[in-house]
Amino acid sequence: MSWARRASRFDREREAASGPPEPVTRGSLQVGYIDLSPDGERLAFNSLGKREDLYVIRTDGTALRQLTDDPARDRGPRWSPDGKQIAFYSERGGKYEVWVVGADGTGPRQLTTSRGTVAEPAWLPDGSRLSFHDSVGMASHIVDLSKRENAAVPEVIAVQDEDGATFHAYAWSPDGRRIAGYRARPDGVSAGIVTYSIEKRAFERLTETGERPRWLSDGRRLLYRNEKGSLSLVDSRSKRAHEILSLIPDRISYPVPSRDDRWIYFVRRSAEADLWLLTLK
């Protein structure tokens, strides 16, 4: 079964979660990647299994709606800042590219035409640009969406360090000045949280392990999944990191906070994929 959970409140002073998670959704539908709408009212996610389609559901577990219904694998939904569109990556055109679809499931269209296969689209907070990762060169890119469709040439954020690790852009800071992402080694192992400054064109490593970071509203702290499959928090200034929630032997995936930092939604994985929510104070 697939479950969504709401966990305990978050003490900002102690930076620690307390109390057991509570369910948001239940059912036989396996949950993959999730994202929260800008108004905090809806969750977008892709299913897992023989079919990988996009769905939207209210955060109280009601009004489940299927947005795509086709044999292609549709993955990684990310809400546009205005809440009107959802970006995702799909193989419906023959190989994985970034697509967008209306929040009501209408008007799907392809955004990228890459040499390789792409994944993990993420919007700039003002909606003018989009980042994604391309298998060619194993590099992340930024594309300007304000230019005429198919006219913009993506900017490459290329980095390969001494370990041969590459940078996977994942989440823009609230002010749009930095992108948080994670390093991935050639063997596929995630090797730490990194931020990239748009202005300085420079990287800063925050942790030695972890993946898929998300910014809190202060633009300073980031949530991420640590190497144990638990939830951790890192301060991008002090670089101090600590674990805030562990459900071992189950594993946490795709944490995403609400804009007011009162809630964190995440997928809980055991033998099956579960969707959970964490409360922040």
Total count of domains within the chain: 1
65 or 61: which leads in pLDDT: 65
Q: Give me the domain span that covers residue 185.
A: 5-279
Most confident of 46-50, 107-111, 187-191, 233-237: 233-237
User: Can you give the CATH number for the domain in which 34 is found?
Assistant: 2.120.10.30
pLDDT exceeds cutoff 90 at 25: no
Q: How confident is the model over 221-258, as pLDDT tens digits?
A: 999 999 999 999 999 999 999 999 988 888 889 999 98
Reported as a pLDDT band with limits 50, 70 and 90, residue 272 is low
67 or 2: which leads in pLDDT: 67
Looking at residue 153, its amino acid is V
